[in-house]
Amino acid sequence: MTVFQIPYGPLNSNLYAVITGDGAFVVDPSVSPDLVIDRIEGLEPGKIRCVLATHAHYDHICCVDEWRNMLPGVSFYLAAEDRALLGDAYGNCSALIGREHLFEDVFDDAKGKITAGNTTIEVISTPGHTKGSVCYLFSSEGGRALFTGDTVFAGSVGRTDFKGGSAAELSESVKTIKVLDPELTIYPGHGPSSNVGEEIKTNPYFA
């Protein structure tokens, strides 16, 4: 399994392209496919199995329509608890940067496990940043990786002052991540990657 991190936009939100022996996956469609496709070997449209959103904030799904138009037969996933934010410009935070963007709901519910060949994606509910924030735990023959969106960053956690945010829920979500394999790599929605063990040592929210 190979993970490509593509930060872009004013908030440097990370889009991730995950390439496994079973195809390709996109986590958080925050970058136009025109800037991604053909630049990453193995990310041809015909090889993309699904697109997954960690939560429904604008800076993480702003290019979902472009990806959807390019991938008409591919499943897109978002937790049910965040789908109401798609039609709420303040809830999805687009209004906060002057965009007031409403999204069409093109998503299936992200829950349980998603399987593509020998690749399994476990959907871990981690509310706190939003009600429907989730982490995606990829497992394949090439290893494991956790995509945390804005739940956990290297050395910090996401904000809880947006609609649906809760510091108490985020604290419980951190506990869910804290018990995972210390060597498990964490790929957050902003900033550099880390691993569970490093966050236990250095992240004050893991104390």
CA distance 196 to 194: 7
Q: How is residue 41 written in tokens?
A: 């070997």
Residues contacting 81, CB < 8 A, separation 6+: 127, 130, 131, 132, 164
Owning domain of residue 121 = 2-206
pLDDT tens digit sequence for 66-101: 999 999 999 999 999 999 999 999 999 999 998 899
Q: What is the pTM of this model?
A: 0.97
Query: How confident is the model at residue 9, as a pLDDT?
Result: 83
**What CATH number has the domain bearing residue 24?**
3.60.15.10
Number of domains in the chain: 1
Look at 10-14, 102-106, 165-169, 181-185 and tell me which has the smallest mean pLDDT.
10-14
